[in-house]
Structure 1
Amino acid sequence: MVLDVMIPKDSDRPCAIVELLQREIFEGLIGIKPGQIPKDELSPTERAWLLSVLGGETVHAITEIGWADEAVRWVETTTASKVSSKADVEQFNAGNGFSLLRFHINDGSTCWLKATGAPNTQERAMSVLLSRLCRDYVPEVVAQKPEWNAWLMHSSGQSLSELPREAPEVERMLQIAVESLAVLQIRTVGEELDLLNAGAVDHRTHVLRNDAEALFAYIDEAMGCQTSTKVSPLGPKRLGELKNIFEDACDYLSELDIPDTILQGDLNIDNILFAGTHCVFIDWSEAYVGNPLVTLEHLLLLNQIEDPSQKASYNRHLRNTYLTAMSSICDARVLQDALPFAPLIAAASTILGRKDWLQTRELSDPRRFPLVRAIARHMDRAAQAPSLLRALLV
């Protein structure tokens, strides 16, 4: 069991502390004391870190020696069932207060234990709230352990590494996802304050408009750092025009008075489980509140059908399916009027993300600039769409 992972400043290599749960499966290993580890095997920081863990002086409870046994006991007490074997426990994440484990139960079922550290500490509260509001469309939280910032979930569906390649099957699965997304979002209407209090980031349209100045200054900085000559950067003049269009789009959408809902800010195929007739949406570390069409646009990006006309036809059908499903909370004609603005707003939402860079000013990280430039060019194309320009002229 990996207890913790770090990359010390005085070393360029990651270092992990691992607890051996079943010694008998590793014949030939010989135990040594920490003082016997050669000096060149560990940096001073790594050695101090190892000694602190062995001495029980850890920052996170889930990095303590013996935590795996405690986790097994908690799962068994909570489920009133026996874990099949510690050897069958699967670990998918670890380090800095994070851990993701899958337990196989003797009755054939499975459950997941997830613990999160900074900056995702809010995910537990969000998962618990959504489990109450959106049963069947998010993982069911059956227990939580605040001292670990952990929660226990039942398995919810089948994970896909990628969508099928056959076009009709792609449309069928995306239609299930679109219908499920609508149901999930409808159940969060009127729950905006609870969602925000649980840690969701505020991406409501009027808030996005207020962020426009900082957003486009950020994009301008990213464009100014471009070194590639394959495509020209968007200059200050065009970014100023884009900012005006974005602000007008936000004003237009605000007048439509579409109910705000939960948004999945990290929507990818790995975060959608298929459970037969519906989908389950997982991993709510990037939970936002805003215009529901934002997540619809992100979902449609999963449509990677190569034929352009076929892809466009499927997307029109999927949008109509979504509008029909959402008509119980908003006139479908109002949503139809909002559709031309959705790609522009969804792209801005992606760049803003948690908006932590607005507070910390850690926005000059060059590793993120290529992504910001790519999304900004998507915004530029979206702003040139005839349907959007026509809507703004009305």
Structure 2
Amino acid sequence: MAEVIERPATGIDSSFSWRKLEELAMDEFVDEELLSVQRLLFEGSTGRGQFSRLGWIGDVLAWAAAHTDVDPGQFVEIKQINGSSSSALIRLTTAAGAAVWFKAVADPEMTEYRMTAALRKLFPDYLPTFLAMHDVWHAWLMEDAGRPLDDMENARPRLFEEVAHHLADLQKASIPRASSLLDQGCADLRLSALCAQMPGIMASLEEAVEVPDYGSHSYLRKARIRALHRTFQDAADQLQASGVPDTLVHSDISTENILIADGTCIFTDWAQAAIGNPFANFEQLRMQVAQHQNAAVVQERLLAAYMRTWSSQLSAPQIRQAFTAIPPIAIAMYLSTRRDWLSPEKLREQQFVRYARSMARQMDRAVQEYEAREALTA
């Protein structure tokens, strides 16, 4: 169902077939769908959220216009990327080609909203520029910060060096703020927290491999899961001994959340801001880049730039020791942020069983990588 913002001069697209609500077959609605549609048509709102009412887009355009010194009618392109009754991501472009983004988050506790505002204030060089914030909608308006790295198929290796350098600089700048950021709502992904969570996570992986699934590919055995847990603990001890400080980490870091413009980069979408090991966060990014950029030169320059930036803070032996231990920690950080997907209730559903098994295989590969790096440095 769609709301027509402005009736076209030539009339509504003929591909639509218009019907009165009472003419529709009632069995086409499930659960509370009919009630929601009735409320929207006859009361103007479903009552489910700010963006589940008639006219909300007009309010957004008026608010955005008030903070960009343009008339609402000057937004000639309105592109909604995603949304729900209480969230939205919209790109607004003017006739002059200037673009701004409106983002509202479904965040009853206002954690993401508050954290995003705090991070923008603390680290303005690393986040998009904010133009306004809306406390009722849990929304903000921000300047366009460039293209996602994911969209740049033939990016030069030099660009990846800049990304690694910028990420390391942000992490280093956050070191004195780590404790206060935890107090403000950042998730705790420090080694102590990961080690406390891993017994439960690994127990879920053990349960997943025990579920019969005759159509699946090969999967790990229970004994191997237990061995992976022991090796993870060894890697955690080694990483702890390296002395690498905890920093701000982007728990959903990806080439989609890195925006490129004018030769530099901005990190966006901080819904899963956390405090944890910076090298593990970089390993997660390196794995993402490897999926799209297999050239050895890109991988080498990405790693070299990151290590070079940290060399002003850590010694070469510290950096080597940390990188040796990192692979299992990076996977553990990922699992920690998604541990609700590994609950006993979820593991009754086949797709989550398969997800858990794929995570077990990823941990297995990470442990093998850790063991290979240990052999090289022995």
Question: Is 1:345 the counterpart of 2:329 in the alignment?
Answer: yes
Q: Return the match for 1:66 from 43, 47, 55.
A: 55
Over the matched positions of the two proteins, sequence identity in percent amounts to 27
Is the Cα contact below 8 Å between 1:262 and 1:287 reproduced in 2?
yes
Distance change >3 Å, CA 238–CA 285, structure 1 → 2: same
Pairwise CA distance, 1:52: 2.2
Pairwise CA distance, 1:202: 1.2
- 2:307 is aligned to 323
- 1:204 is aligned to 190
Q: Secondary structure at the match of 1:269?
A: coil
Distance change >3 Å, CA 314–CA 120, structure 1 → 2: farther
Deviates more, 1:39-48 or 1:85-94: 39-48
- 2:188 and 2:356 map into 1 onto residues whose CA distance is 20
| Ranges in structure 1 where 5+ consecutive residues have no aligned partner | 1-16
Distance change >3 Å, CA 379–CA 335, structure 1 → 2: same
Q: Secondary structure at the match of 2:176?
A: coil
| Ranges in structure 2 where 5+ consecutive residues have no aligned partner | none
Q: Secondary structure at the match of 1:91?
A: strand
Pairwise CA distance, 1:67: 0.9
Count of residue pairs brought into register by the alignment:
370
Question: Is 1:111 the counterpart of 2:100 in the alignment?
Answer: yes
Question: Is 1:300 the counterpart of 2:319 in the alignment?
Answer: no
Is the Cα contact below 8 Å between 1:274 and 1:280 reproduced in 2?
yes
Distance change >3 Å, CA 363–CA 190, structure 1 → 2: farther
Q: Amino acid of the residue matched to residue 256 of structure 2? A: D
Pairwise CA distance, 1:376: 2.2
Is the Cα contact below 8 Å between 1:273 and 1:282 reproduced in 2?
yes
Give TM-score, length-normalised by structure 2.
0.86
- 2:119 is aligned to 130
Q: Return the match for 1:156 from 145, 152, 161.
A: 145
Distance change >3 Å, CA 105–CA 86, structure 1 → 2: closer
Pairwise CA distance, 1:216: 0.7
- 1:381 and 1:215 map into 2 onto residues whose CA distance is 17
Is the Cα contact below 8 Å between 1:323 and 1:336 reproduced in 2?
no
- 2:65 and 2:33 map into 1 onto residues whose CA distance is 34
Pairwise CA distance, 1:338: 0.6
- 1:8 is aligned to none
Q: Amino acid of the residue matched to residue 85 of structure 2? A: N
- 1:237 is aligned to 223
- 2:293 and 2:93 map into 1 onto residues whose CA distance is 40
- Matching of residues 254-293 of structure 1 within 5 Å: 254-293=240-279
Q: Over the residues paired in the alignment, what is the CA RMSD in angstroms?
A: 3.0
Pairwise CA distance, 1:291: 0.3
Q: Deviations over 1:225-271 (max 9, x none)?
A: 36357753222222211111111211222232311122222222221
Distance change >3 Å, CA 100–CA 127, structure 1 → 2: same
Is the Cα contact below 8 Å between 1:88 and 1:104 reproduced in 2?
yes
- 1:282 and 1:361 map into 2 onto residues whose CA distance is 33
Is the Cα contact below 8 Å between 1:226 and 1:233 reproduced in 2?
no
- Matching of residues 167-246 of structure 1 within 5 Å: 169=155, 171-225=157-211, 227=213, 232-246=218-232
Distance change >3 Å, CA 298–CA 25, structure 1 → 2: farther
Pairwise CA distance, 1:190: 2.1
- 1:119 and 1:355 map into 2 onto residues whose CA distance is 21
Q: Amino acid of the residue matched to residue 345 of structure 1? A: I
Q: Deviations over 1:197-245 (max 9, x none)?
A: 4443211111111112112112112222363577532222222111111
Q: Amino acid of the residue matched to residue 331 of structure 2? A: A
- 1:99 and 1:327 map into 2 onto residues whose CA distance is 41
- 1:216 and 1:315 map into 2 onto residues whose CA distance is 30
- 1:82 is aligned to 71
- 1:99 is aligned to 88
Deviates more, 1:255-264 or 1:237-246: 255-264
- 1:12 is aligned to none
Question: Is 1:334 the counterpart of 2:318 in the alignment?
Answer: yes
- 2:231 and 2:28 map into 1 onto residues whose CA distance is 58
- 2:17 and 2:197 map into 1 onto residues whose CA distance is 58
- 1:284 and 1:254 map into 2 onto residues whose CA distance is 26
- 1:225 and 1:60 map into 2 onto residues whose CA distance is 39
Q: Deviations over 1:173-213 (max 9, x none)?
A: 32222112112222221222343344432111111111121
Is the Cα contact below 8 Å between 2:186 and 2:275 reproduced in 1?
yes
Is the Cα contact below 8 Å between 2:126 and 2:266 reproduced in 1?
yes
Distance change >3 Å, CA 227–CA 44, structure 1 → 2: closer
Q: Deviations over 1:292-340 (max 9, x none)?
A: 0122112212124787xx52x6434422210111233333431221101
- 1:183 and 1:83 map into 2 onto residues whose CA distance is 39
Q: Amino acid of the residue matched to residue 20 of structure 1? A: V
